[in-house]
Amino acid sequence: MNLEGISIKLGDNINTDFIISGRYKFSITDIKELSKHIMEDIDPGFAAKIIPGKSIIVAGENFGMGSSREQAPLVIKECGIAAILAKSFARIFYRNGFNIGLPLIETDTGKIEENDTLFIEMDKGIVKNVTKNSQIGIKPLPKFMQELLKKGGIINYYKKYRRLPKV
């Protein structure tokens, strides 16, 4: 599975309330409407930066920390973010992201800058930074997780095969 896109750079400890503010938790239930407010507490213009299917969030340590609200990864996917690269992810966010088919990739993001063009080769375990003519390794994804991503998440996988992927 390969992905290509333009980086949108964030820092460390991006929590679920930064991704989608808790003030919308009960007032907006439509995911399309909720996605208009992505990251607005830390960058009011964040939604305007997104090129659906071509934007890749690049973050530091502990992306997705905080509550276990599933709205956070759902909003990211709804906005058309192709993938998230981070040094590390909060465990429950990581699980929720893969469950909905959102590619989450652990790697050293320190040399990636805003608007770098990235090409991710998950099978080969590399991220090519086309802008800088460099590449970095990624933490390999097990085959069953790659299958979940290809099918769009665990629900879609189960609907198609009537079983869960073999670990």
- The answer to whether the beta carbons of residues 65 and 88 sit under 8 Å apart is no
* pLDDT value at residue 123: 85
Task: Give the pLDDT of residue 100.
Answer: 94
Residue 24: helix, strand or coil by DSSP?
Answer: helix
Contact 45, 93 (CB under 8 A): no
Per-residue model confidence as pLDDT tens for the chain (167 residues): 899 999 999 999 999 999 998 888 778 889 999 999 999 999 999 999 999 999 999 999 999 998 777 889 999 999 999 999 999 999 999 999 999 999 999 999 999 999 999 999 988 999 999 999 999 999 888 888 888 898 888 888 888 888 777 76
**Angle separating helix axes 71-78 and 91-99, nearest 10 degrees:** 50
pLDDT of residue 76: 97
Please give the sequence-ordered ranges of beta strands (E in DSSP) within the chain, or none if there are none.
Answer: 2-9, 55-58, 81-86, 104-106, 117-121, 126-129, 134-137
pLDDT at 95: 92
Q: Domains (ranges, CATH) in the chain?
A: 2-161 (3.20.19.10)
Total Cβ atoms within 10 A of residue 52: 10
Of 134, 75, 146, 132, nearest to 104 by C-alpha is 146
For residues 115 and 129, the answer to whether their CB atoms sit within 8 Å is no
Q: Is 40 strand, coil or helix? A: coil
Its pTM stands at 0.92
For the chain, the residue count is 167
- CB within 8 Å of 161: residues ≥ 6 apart: none
pLDDT at residue 158, as a whole number: 84
Closest CA to 103 of 124, 89, 117: 89
Structural contact between residues 147 and 157, judged by C-beta atoms closer than 8 angstroms: yes
